[in-house]
Homo-oligomer: A and B are copies of this chain.
Amino acid sequence: MAASFSLAQLAEHCSVKYRGAADSCIEKIATLKSADADALSFLANPAYLKDLANTRAGIVILSAEYLDEYQGAVLISANPQLDYARIANLIYKADQPQAFIHPHASIDPDTTIGSGVSIAAGVVIEAGVSIGNDCQIDANATLCHGVSLGERVIVHSGAVIGADGFGLAFDQDHWVKIPQLGSVVIGDDCEIGANTTIDRGAIEDTVLENDVRLDNLVQVAHNVKIGAHTAMAGCSGVAGSTTIGKYCMIAGASGVGGHIEISDHVTITAMSMVNKSILEPGYYGSGVEAQPHSEWRKNLARLRHLDKTIKKLLQRKRDK
């Protein structure tokens, strides 16, 4: 039988106020649209306001500004997404897999593995790896030799941590590989997305501080340092030897160039290219929004001659 949680219990768990019958109970979480009376739902994005009026949810997490839009039982939250996360962790934590090491994982005997660690099938852990307590290493992930993880790190399936950095020197007519002698050091509470790659350092280590969160298919090159609590969304990448500060957000498919510095609290919008240091907190971007192709084609044609056209326009002006 599923555990049941009352409105009053949940309000206490989240340290928030509520409106409605204290003993209203829910057993699960659902979207506004699909929730039944035994489900809790939430409104974190105003785009879903249209679903609020008709929801059958037993309890809804709402910010104070939307209280008038809904008549049912409510948890009044300053951050509905956060309180939803807290309640989801309360209800579903018990369902999470117990610590185990799958017999189809391949683990070098020369490794240090903490307590409470889960290692799934197909995982490869090479010599010299150190894994802190309560980490979770998902199927087919690879931890190359010497890599170190803090506590409660989650490595999703297919991620590769500690492959050689892309270090090459050109010798007249061919490439010479530069041995990659550093490793990768990952702090506590980090999450590494599926098929994401984090290269080992050339001489010193590639470093992720605590609570760094990487989505899927992210590329982190050698000797990058990423500050605590920074998040990088899917398909983004950072080139070698760059330092990213704490509390940064790098949106999807953005690229950060090599040998530069990004200060704390910098947000990069989607599909942007950063190739110079950013020393002031704030929002930065260069992503170009799609428009109907017939229009874009004409604008693009102008962009390809922009300098000449503007020179001509400025010149004509002066000629008068």
Contact = CB atoms under 8 A, between A and B. Distances in A.
Interface residues of A, number: 122
Most buried by B among A156, A157, A297, A310: A157
Contacts of A195: 158, 160, 195, 197, 217
A288 interface: yes
A91 to B, nearest CB: 8
Given A140-B122, A193-B163, A307-B301, A275 B270 contact: yes
Contact of A31 (B139, B203, B257): B203
A85 B31 contact: no
A1 interface: no
Interface in A63-91: 79, 81-82, 84-86, 88-89
Contacts of A167: 85
B29 A203 contact: yes
A73 B309 CA distance: 54
A31 B204 contact: yes
A171 interface: yes
Interface string A90-109: 00110000000010101000
A62 interface: no
A302 B313 contact: no
A217 B215 contact: no
Contacts of A298: 306-307
Interface of A: 29-31, 34, 45, 47, 79, 81-82, 84-86, 88-89, 92-93, 102, 104, 106, 120-122, 124, 126, 138-140, 142, 144, 154, 156-158, 160, 163-164, 166-171, 173-179, 181, 189, 191, 193-195, 197, 199, 203-204, 211, 213, 215-217, 219, 221, 229, 231, 233-235, 237, 239, 252-253, 255, 257, 259, 267-276, 278, 282-307, 309-310, 313-314, 316-317, 320
